[in-house]
Structure 1
Amino acid sequence: MSDVVKNLWFRDTKEDAIYINDVAVRIRAGMLLFISIYMSFTLWNAFFVSHWVVDGNTAIDSGDMDWDNNIIYSVHAIKRVYDWTFQTYLLWYGLFEMLAGMSTITARLSPTIYIASFLAKRTAKPIWKPLAPKRFAWTIGASIIATCLVFFNPDVFANWVNTIFQHEVLPTDRQYMSYYIPLSLVWVCLGFMWMEAVMGFCVGCKVHALLVKVGILKDECEACNNIDWDEIARKNQERLAKEAAAQQSTEQHAS
């Protein structure tokens, strides 16, 4: 527990190149996956479920039929009003989690990192991976969340933009973003996080590796990613013990 409090999911916070426990990353991705699941159902309900609340007790047969021979009823209906307050707070928290893991300092503010680090410490052997690719993957996640925040709060974002440019760049009285954008991004985010949590496949890391390959980004030593540091320490201890035993044997023969 003391090691979790000291280093969280980092191998050593004082290293120049920071390495992170991929087991803890996968556990955390599984926890944050619930945000994507909730948001996907929220958007599905908003876009593909009727926008009207119909009171079936007030339905009255009008006596007329449409062209398809369906009976036309007269009803009392109320248009649904959506309040995105909870979704907005949830997205802000998700954005905070994406950004928190990028630094050894801000990581200490994340409750999911503490939980994931503790569970990983108790359940599995650590798999050390460089932080840089994960940071790139979380940047993609943060961008997706930021886009969804704009969709749920178009007037707030429009006011910010219009204030900066000192004239109306975006309308403040209507939705200017197609609902296909957040709906698609949420399902993309859901897929990415599911692959990370269940399969251990980090799409953002693969994109990062591709950008490194073409020379746009620099990467940590991939050959060092899965070094078994505990095994190296054990072998060093065995070597030192053998050297000490050999030296002691030599001294005994000499005496």
Structure 2
Amino acid sequence: MLSVLKNLWFRDPKESPVYINDIAIRIRAGILLFVPIYMSFTLYDAVFVSHWVVDGNTAVDSGDMDWDYNIIYSVEAIKKSYDYTVQTWVLFYALFEMLAGMFVWSARLSPAILLATLLAKNTKPVWKPIVPKRFAWGIGATFISICLVFFNPDVFANWVNTLAGSTLLPTTVNYMSPWIPLTLVWICLGFMWMETVLGFCVGCKVYSLLVKLGVFKEECEACNNIDWDEIARKNQERLAAQK
């Protein structure tokens, strides 16, 4: 337990480059999987479900029929108003988690990292470099930021207009198509599912490709599973045999 609290999911917080336990990463991705699932239901309701609410008690038969012999009713209907306060806070927490995992000092503030490390402490660790993971989490943070703009268009528009000193974005309508966050949420859900279930990090593969293309100069180490404890044990056995 003390080791978990001291090192979290890092092999050694002071080493360079930094390595983290991929088992804990996958567990954390599973914990955070609830965020895109919750947001997908929210966006489904916002995009595909009718915004009109009809009270069946107010539907009155008008006595007329249309050309297809359907009965015409007169109704009293209201339009739903959406409050995305809860969704906004959930997205802010998810954004915090994406950013917190990028650095040793901020990782200590993450409840999901602590919980994932505790759940993985009895499993043999799989050490992987943190740099490709940072890139993957950066993609996730970008997706989340775009969704935050969709749910709070007036706030973002006011910020932009204030900085620009002019009205660049409207503050009374949502200028972002709902298909943008809906698509991003499903992509995020797929990425996190592959990380959790298959151990396949799409962001890491993209990072590796960009390194090969020369976009990033830092060498992208292949995710490895070097058993340092086993190497140390064999070295001790060899030294003992020599004596």
TM-score by length of 2: 0.97
Residue 99 of structure 2 aligns with which residue?
99
Whole-Å separation in 2 of the counterparts to 1:111 and 1:105: 13
**Residue in structure 1 matched with residue 143 of structure 2 by the alignment:** 144
- In structure 2, runs of 5+ residues without a counterpart are none
| CA–CA separation in structure 2 for the residues paired with 1:240 and 1:146 | 55
Give runs of aligned pairs for residues 154-233 of structure 1, distance below 5 A: 154-217=153-216, 218-222=218-222, 225-233=224-232
Cα shift at 1:93: 0.3
Q: Which residue of 2 aligns with 1:117?
A: 117
Contact 1:132 1:219 in 2 (8 A): no
Q: Which residue of 2 aligns with 1:18?
A: 18
Q: Which amino acid aligns with 2:241?
A: K
Q: Which residue of 1 aligns with 2:43?
A: 43
Cα drift, residue 69 of structure 1: 2.2
Secondary structure of the residue that 1:105 maps to in structure 2?
helix
Listed one character per residue, the Cα deviations across residues 7-43 of structure 1 (whole Å, up to 9, x for unaligned) are 1001000001000100000000001000000000000
Unpaired segments of 5 or more residues in structure 1? 245-255
Cα distance in 1 between the residues matched to 2:70 and 2:79: 23
For 2:11 and 2:170, how far apart are their aligned partners in 1?
Answer: 48
Measure the CA separation in 2 of the matches of 1:94 and 1:60: 47
Return the letter of the residue paired with 2:18: I
Alpha-carbon separation, structure 1, partners of 2:68 and 2:140: 47
Look up the equivalent residue of 2:21 and give its one-letter code: N
- CA separation of 1:211/1:10 partners in 2, compared to 1, >3 Å: closer, same or farther? same
Q: Does residue 3 of structure 2 align to residue 34 of structure 1? A: no
Contact 1:99–1:138 under 8 Å retained in 2: yes
Alpha-carbon displacement from aligned partner over 1:119-178 (angstroms, at most 9, x marks no partner): 1112x2111000000000000000000000000000100111111111111111111001
How far apart, CA to CA, are the structure 2 residues paired with 1:220 and 1:11?
A: 18
User: Counterparts of 1:107 and 1:188 in 2: how far apart (Å)?
Assistant: 25
Check whether the contact 2:29–2:195 (CA below 8 A) recurs between aligned residues: yes
- Of stretches 2-11 and 68-77 in structure 1, the one that deviates more from structure 2 is 68-77
The whole-number CA distance in structure 2 between the counterparts of 1:58 and 1:227 is 70
| CA-CA distance at 1:243 after TM superposition | 2.3
SS of 1:178's partner is coil
Q: Distance in 2 between matches of 1:221 and 1:146?
A: 29
Q: Does 1:4 pair with 2:4?
A: yes
Deviations 1:61-98 (A, max 9, x none): 11122233221111221211100000000000000000
The one-letter code matched in structure 1 to 2:153 is: P
1:186 to partner: Cα distance: 0.5
* Structure 1 partner of 2:234: 235
Task: Give secondary structure in 2 for the equivalent of 1:126.
Answer: coil
Deviation at 1:236, TM superposition (A): 1.3
Report the Cα distance in structure 2 between the residues aligned to 1:42 and 1:4, rounded to whole angstroms.
Answer: 36
1:211 positional shift: 0.3
Identical residues among aligned pairs (%): 70
Amino acid at match of 2:12: D
Contact 1:17 1:220 in 2 (8 A): no
User: What is the SS of the residue equivalent to 1:57?
Assistant: helix
Contact persistence 2:23–2:120 (CA under 8 A): yes
For the Cα contact (< 8 Å) 1:133–1:209, is it kept in 2?
Answer: yes
Displacement of 1:233 in angstroms is 1.2
**Given the two structures, how large is their TM-score scaled by the length of structure 1?**
0.92
Q: How far, CA to CA, are the matches of 2:10 and 2:28 in structure 1?
A: 14
What residue in structure 2 maps to residue 249 of structure 1? none
Q: Match of 2:87?
A: 87
Question: Following TM superposition, where does structure 1 have runs of at least 4 consecutive aligned residues deviating by more than 4 angstroms?
Answer: none
Give the Cα separation in 1 of the matches to 2:130 and 2:66. 63
Deviation at 1:234, TM superposition (A): 1.1
